[in-house]
Structure 1
Amino acid sequence: MCGIYGSTIAYSKEQVQQKLMRTSFRGPDKLDWKYLGKNKNIVFGHNRLAIIDLDPRSNQPLTYQNIHIVFNGEIYNFLDLKKELINKGHEFKTTSDTEVMCAAYLEYGDEFVSKLNGMFAFVIYDENKERLFGARDRLGQKPFYYSFNGEDFEFSSQISSIQLFRDDLSISSKAISYYLAWGAIPEPYSIFNEINKLKPGFSLSLDLKSKKFEQKQYWDIDYKGIHQYLGTYEEAKATLNNLLKDAVKIRLFADVPVGVFLSGGVDSSAIAALATQTTTSKIKTFSVKFDEKGFDESKYAQQVADHLKTDHHVIDCNYNEGLDLIENFSHFYDEPFADSSAIPSMLLAKHTRKHVTVALSGDAGDEIFIGYHRYNWMRQVGIMYKIPEFIRNLSANALGLMPHYKLKMISQGLKYDNLDDVYLAARTGVNTSWLDNKYDYLDVEEIKYLKHQHKNQQERISDFDLKTYLNWDINTKVDRATMAYSLEARSPLMDYRIVEFARSLPTSFKFQGSNQKRILKDVLYQHVPKEIFNRPKAGFTMPFSEWFKKELKDYVLSELNEESLKLIPGINAKEVTFRIQQHMDGSWNRYPMIWKLLVLKQWLNTNGKKYSIQ
């Protein structure tokens, strides 16, 4: 796990070093760069967090024959690939996965990326062909920012490295509009008009002589439902157990200490259970504890840890430490990002890093096994959409008169024309009157995974979340939160073999009646007693709703006063002021909107005066 950087722009050594120092938290073990090319007109830089082959021989940029690479991530099947390549005559001087990638590129060309099982973002410079070739992993676990103006190319793990010494950048008003709706900036956009994100499952190439720039998709989910699993439920359960066990096993491989994030939920508990079965050493597990009632789930993590006999660590999340992380938020999430669970994620990473360098997580279980509350909510709303429209409208009007804000939200949701639009509203905000709606924030390519008729609605919204929420939000949150403290996070459930298998299963294997994540739960119950999980599903959230009305009230009212709101693009300042007051008087929970604006305001405080908004 590292930070990568590269450019064809003629930066000085001092400037390159500053760009790498800006993201040194991603890889504190070694900071290095090389000038490449016949005229030394290409620079590759790297912040290394040493995980496999700790020897300096595996430092990057790494050269293998006529190939140079900077690489962020892990290739979990590199030992199998290495054997295959040795049989084809390739020789190796290190025990790293990085060198294997270079040999695989020489052997298989651009298509080698389809052979990789891992999380990655990399760029290769091919001396003989005078070209750059890069790719991002299938599900977008590792970030990849780039800028190309037809002549100069620059790339990095984080936008802040590209941002340094660039006077040609402008803030994207479209990106801000999308952020205010989605809570994150979707690919291919970034907060700057001149910088893009490479989409997951895509590669890119740049011919350095002709300046021909191309992108190619090498992987996608089967959103048309072509591959259907035909076995029995018991057969599927056995297959999933074996896939999960192998996915966990290969992610435990490292030359540094490894642990597991354990929330006490189904996903992380399954990972922890299988981890204890695939290693002889005692697994270290980590969870967060909140003092606020209704937010503390640590006791459930402790129950799982006690059963599995792990070396369990509970991390207290207190107000003062949480506030400190809020104030430094934009240094690590260097474009606006509004998932408030990033704060406890950072806290978890900060303290976990004191014990291990790698931590396995349960991310993606809800998306691929249909586990979020909103999926069940959509099933219930679907029943309402089967009744005549005039009756539905009467029900909506009646609910709108109720005092409770959740009933008011249901009322608004029932007024949409179809269930797809209901789901999009649930994801972006049922009532967006506080936005100026200058841009159509639903104009994203990923909408195709939702608005088609190849699958039932539960499968379509699950696919849509895999391509949007998991990628734009969860992966961004986890990468920045862990890398802020030089901790590598690995997600066995994002093994592409598990994703492809889960997406091929009948819906009833994953969601039957009100039983969500059915097959994953049944795999888990083979290893941990079912009784531990007989409780409502909980999210990984901060008590911001209460903090904004109490401890952080003055901070909110100061940062988001009427004059400050007028300087924030994309919003109706008067409507926002009204909604903030609703939150303060307890009539409506507006904390998601408040947090979005606080994060955006913090970023604009740092960047708004230097760059114009276009």
Structure 2
Amino acid sequence: MCGIYGTTIKYEEHQVQDKLKRTAFRGPDKMGWQFYKKEEKTITFGHNRLSIIDLDPRSDQPFTYYDHIHIVFNGEIYNFRILKKELTEKGYSFNTTSDTEVLCAAYLEYGEKCVDHLNGMFAFVIYDEKKQELFGARDRLGQKPFYYYHNGLDFEFSSQLSSIQMFNDNLSVSQKSIGYYLAWGNVPEPYSIFNEIKKLPAGHRFTYNIKTGDFNNSCYWDIDYQGKTKFTGTYNDAKNELSDILDDAVSSRLFADVPVGVFLSGGVDSSLVAAVASKSSNAKVKTFSVKFNEAEFDESAYAQQVADHLKTDHNVIECNYNEGMSLIENFSHFYDEPFADSSAIPSMLLAKHTREQVTVALSGDGGDESFIGYQRYKWATTKSKLYDVPYSLRKLSSSVLKHVPNYKLKVVAEALKTKNRNTAYLSVMTGINLNYIQSDEDFRDVAEIKYLDHNNKNLLERVSDFDLKTYLNWDINTKVDRATMAYSLEARAPLLDHRIVDFARALPTDFKILKDNQKRILKDVLYQYVPEHIFDRPKAGFAIPFATWFREDLKDYVLSELDDESLKNIPNINIENVKFMIKQHMDGSWNRYPLIWKLIVLKQWLNKEAKGISIK
């Protein structure tokens, strides 16, 4: 796990070093850079290394293979030992034990189709001197970030936006991206917070012609959202096959030349990963969880039960209020652009203290999206039936319910005004009421709507697919990458192995959810290792108690951060509507903490990262 950087723009060596220093937290073990000169063009590659596999300096980057192939690579190729054997049989030789060298050989053998052979999380760029071309790709599910700047001729890329931002006077803050951020809580790909910088979408590869400046990207992998692949075996067949894939996904992610641990929340997904890791490992597995003082947010006791049963070396990290506040103040330094998932704060605390003992940690990310685990998915089987009622009657019911003092019924009242199930789900994901955004744009209208707005699958499958392409990619993966990299910790997610994601897409819906039993097949695999009664409780999210803090301990902080003068400096908002919604939160009539947090994060980012930059 590392930070990568490269450019065709002519920078002084000290400027390149400064760009790498800005993101040195991603890879503190070695900072390297190299200039490749060809005719009148200079290609610069830079790398911040976090040493995980083959700790020897021979695997430092930028890395050169067969004299003319140069690479900077962030991530891990989990099947690299299998690939290495295949490529050795084809005549390739290797001087290291790293996956970086194998990736270079795979490119030489398979060209752009090398990505089809990779099982991993990655963002990489290869400079092919013979072709005078850059070739790069991002992993299928977007676990590793990739930002780029292309002005029609020059090209610059990085793991983090801030490296590209430095020494670039041609950037402007995107008013449109601010609108998307206010709706989604993040800036969805392919956009970034700057008009001139883009994100390479997940599952995409690209080529950049050094002579002409032409840049082309294409999709090499996508989920089967048309439902063409169907699993035809029995439930037990599916359970056995899933167990086999999961065994391999976990064991391959345990491979490292540094200490490895497991994030253990006490929920189904992380407990399953910890259980399989314990089975696969010869040594006692180290596990890590977060403890909250607020009982409704704290699952540390359940994590302890699982750890006791599996006999792991368990570590509990207390979510300290003061430590959390200090992270809020430095939030934008690591996240680079506005990002409003408040669980990033406990994620950073978890990463910070986990890194004291291990360099790699396995997580349970991806289980909810693939196996229909989120609480909101129950809406698709129960409350969505309301949309069988004619729209005129729903509007009438909404006008009555909105006057009821019960908060949840008010939310239902707002939801009833949406036209159909698809728009209702979009409202769930962006917030039902977006009237605080001052714009004529529809910020719910994203390209990924195609995964939701079709009739190839039932509603449960469609919202699951949609979340994989949006919430998981834009939010969860961003949160985990930045939170862990802030402390030079590598996070690996076995449930995001593309084989598991593809397998889950092919399963009948009732293998994943039957009546109220969500993640049915995943649980049945888990119960082979851990007793079922430990998980007989409502699902809890990994959240921080901001709703209460904003009304109590942090009330003065909120009102100071979002006073009248501050609100005037935040683009795209209707100030009066925002002030009314803040008042609703403070008097307890409506939980508006997501909006408040979005605005605080945006204000801090504008003040710290965008001073003097125009907004267009």
Deviation at 1:105, TM superposition (A): 0.5
Question: Residue in 2 aligned with 1:603?
Answer: 605
Q: Which amino acid aligns with 2:232?
A: L
Deviation at 1:398, TM superposition (A): 3.5
Question: Residue in 1 aligned with 2:156?
Answer: 154
Equivalent of 1:174 in 148, 155, 176: 176
Question: Residue in 2 aligned with 1:417?
Answer: 419
Q: Which amino acid aligns with 1:49?
A: L
Question: Residue in 1 aligned with 2:32?
Answer: 32
Equivalent positions of 1:244-283 (< 5 A) are: 244-283=246-285
How many residues matched? 614
Question: Residue in 2 aligned with 1:469?
Answer: 471
Equivalent positions of 1:373-522 (< 5 A) are: 373-522=375-524
Alignment partners' CA distance in 2, 1:540 and 1:83 = 41
Q: Which amino acid aligns with 1:139?
A: L
Alignment partners' CA distance in 1, 2:327 and 2:194 = 24
Alignment partners' CA distance in 1, 2:547 and 2:214 = 50
What 5-or-longer segments of structure 2 have no aligned partner? none
Indicate the SS of the match to 2:381.
Answer: helix
Alignment partners' CA distance in 2, 1:122 and 1:585 = 50
Tell me if the contact between 1:438 and 1:570 (Cα under 8 Å) persists in the aligned partners: no
Question: Residue in 2 aligned with 1:20?
Answer: 20
Alignment partners' CA distance in 2, 1:87 and 1:285 = 39
Tell me if the contact between 1:326 and 1:343 (Cα under 8 Å) persists in the aligned partners: yes
Equivalent positions of 1:159-238 (< 5 A) are: 159-238=161-240
Deviation at 1:567, TM superposition (A): 1.1
Question: Residue in 2 aligned with 1:52?
Answer: 53
Q: Which amino acid aligns with 2:394?
A: R
Question: Residue in 1 aligned with 2:86?
Answer: 84
Deviations along 1:74-116, whole A, 9 cap, x unmatched? 0000000000000000000000000000011011111011100
Question: Residue in 1 aligned with 2:333?
Answer: 331
Equivalent positions of 1:530-609 (< 5 A) are: 530-609=532-611
Tell me if the contact between 1:37 and 1:127 (Cα under 8 Å) persists in the aligned partners: no
Q: Does 1:311 align with 2:344?
A: no
Tell me if the contact between 1:2 and 1:73 (Cα under 8 Å) persists in the aligned partners: yes
Deviations along 1:211-255, whole A, 9 cap, x unmatched? 221111100000000001111111001111111111000000000
Deviates more, 1:78-87 or 1:582-591: 582-591
Question: Residue in 1 aligned with 2:76?
Answer: 74
Alignment partners' CA distance in 2, 1:45 and 1:389 = 57
Q: Which amino acid aligns with 2:137?
A: A
Question: Residue in 1 aligned with 2:294?
Answer: 292
Question: Residue in 2 aligned with 1:141?
Answer: 143
Alignment partners' CA distance in 2, 1:612 and 1:342 = 28
Q: Does 1:5 align with 2:5?
A: yes
Q: Which amino acid aligns with 2:111?
A: G
Tell me if the contact between 2:391 and 2:419 (Cα under 8 Å) persists in the aligned partners: no
Deviation at 1:444, TM superposition (A): 1.4
Q: Which amino acid aligns with 1:172?
A: S
Tell me if the contact between 1:358 and 1:488 (Cα under 8 Å) persists in the aligned partners: yes
Tell me if the contact between 2:341 and 2:479 (Cα under 8 Å) persists in the aligned partners: yes
TM-score by length of 1: 0.99
TM-score by length of 2: 0.99
Alignment partners' CA distance in 1, 2:101 and 2:257 = 16
Tell me if the contact between 1:369 and 1:516 (Cα under 8 Å) persists in the aligned partners: yes
Question: Residue in 2 aligned with 1:129?
Answer: 131
Alignment partners' CA distance in 1, 2:554 and 2:25 = 28
Q: Which amino acid aligns with 1:538?
A: A
Among the aligned pairs, what percent are the same residue? 68
Indicate the SS of the match to 1:132.
Answer: strand
Q: Which amino acid aligns with 1:9?
A: I
Indicate the SS of the match to 2:427.
Answer: helix
Deviation at 1:37, TM superposition (A): 3.3
- Superposed CA RMSD: 1.0
Deviation at 1:393, TM superposition (A): 3.8
Alignment partners' CA distance in 1, 2:236 and 2:438 = 52
